[in-house]
Amino acid sequence: MQRLYRTIRGCEIDTTKGWTHATYIDQKKSSNISCPSTSSNRICAITGSSPKLKVYIDLHVYHSSSDRKNEPRRRVSKIKRYAEIQMYNVTREDEGFYVLDESVSVDPMRLQLVDLFIVNQTDLKTIVGQEGKEMEIKCSTDTVQYITGLHIESNGSIMAIGDNQSVSFLFIPDRTDHLTTYKCVDITHSSIMTEVKLIIRYAPVVTGHLTNETIKCDCDGFPEKYSVYRLDQISNYGELVRSVNLNTEIFTFHTDPLPYQRNGRYMCFVSNGIPDTTGKVLQTWSTDVKYEGPPIFSPGNRNVKHGEVGISISMSFYIYSYPAVDEVNIEKIGQKQSKNEIIRYYNIINSTLRYTEFNNIIGTEGYEIVIESEVLEIYDFHAYLITVKNHLGESKYHFEIIDREPPVSSVLETHIKHALERQWGRGNT
């Protein structure tokens, strides 16, 4: 069988040791000559193509205290660079060595330090101001011979223009200026520059969020260390019910089974010691809380009512309720009886009840149900169940009507009277 050979015309470029050697080769498919797939100093190209050559060079940067050539020096940096050469339509004549002719500058580059400083700047390159109080950012130099002119800029805008000695920017900051960066720059040489970050102290703005179970007091002052952070509950009469120091920004209601005890006005008080623009140090937020639910009997009710045969009695029951009570029923326990059999009439009166969970302070809204009974009979001295309703539910309360015992003096008078009657009767016989 006849063997077939293919001749490839190529260009080999060798950049070893900074030189490039190009050799025209005829490479048969069966030969051992090969072009490496990856090499930093060799590029293979097909005749007529346009390869790129990269020639690498190491550059060294030295430092000395003088520009004299024999002055001792130290190397401060090593930089690797390369030159890229674009070739077009290469032929066999392009084969050969390529070298990068280095031209090293003999004139040294001098580094001159220029001092720029901002008055009242801290070691952290910050300057502190307060919202609503006028402040000054002043930049100065003591090397005026190298300065053309100074200006202060921020966010790409020039805020103030000075001379070759100093520049000053006078303004009244607000909280939006917090963490803003200001630069002091020479108008000719941008490398002559220093910058400072503005720290603005400002009073917190307090915002609140009310849910069925919590009150959240948010605040955003700086610094974020608060000397006062509390929540006050105030009655409808302006009396302080309780005051709670907040460890977190969320306060949770814990007044079950008397949720109406949470009613009142709540005020968040927050301070980080920084006055606001009006001079107030203590910042506040307030909201009104009014629980809605079924009626609840006050723990202050008495479950024993006293009466006398032949006399009607008036009974009062105190109720927390919102919405208002719209129905009252009384029934005797353990006996069949139509509801409201002993009620002649009843009246529902708006009343101010006590915060029984919080030192019995007066000041929460409620109702007094005043019931006028029929004339009592002996069988009316019994246990009863009163049911109070609004359109969200009902509540029940047990009470008892008992016979009022006569006072001791009346009993004694009765005994004396009976004794005299007996003695008088014996004397007449």
**Per-residue confidence at 183, pLDDT binned at 50, 70, 90?**
very high
Token duo for residue 262:
């949470």
Superfamily of chain region 294-403: Immunoglobulins (2.60.40.10)
> Over the stretch 286-340, which tens digit does the pLDDT of each residue have?
999 999 999 999 998 999 999 999 999 999 999 999 999 999 999 888 876 666 6
Q: CA triplet 189, 195, 196: central angle to 5 degrees?
A: 165
Q: CA triplet 208, 364, 315: central angle to 5 degrees?
A: 155
Residue 98 has pLDDT above 80, yes or no: no
Please report where in the chains the tokens 């927390």 appear, as a residue: 320
**pLDDT score for 415:** 55
CATH architecture of 116-201: Sandwich (2.60)
Residues of the chain with CATH 2.60.40.10: 116-201, 294-403
Question: Does domain 213-288 bear CATH number 1.10.510?
Answer: no
- Residue 316 near residue 348 (C-beta atoms within 8 A): no
135-141 sheet: strands from edge to edge: 116-118, 135-141, 166-171
**pLDDT score for 22:** 41
Residue 70 has pLDDT above 90, yes or no: no
| C-alpha distances out from residue 350 to 319, 320, 364, 391, 394, Å | 10, 10, 11, 18, 18
**Bridge-partner residues for 394, per DSSP?**
389
Asked whether the whole model's pTM tops 0.85, one would answer no
**Counting beta carbons within 10 angstroms of the beta carbon of residue 422, is it exposed (0 to 12), middle (13 to 18) or buried (19 or more)?**
exposed
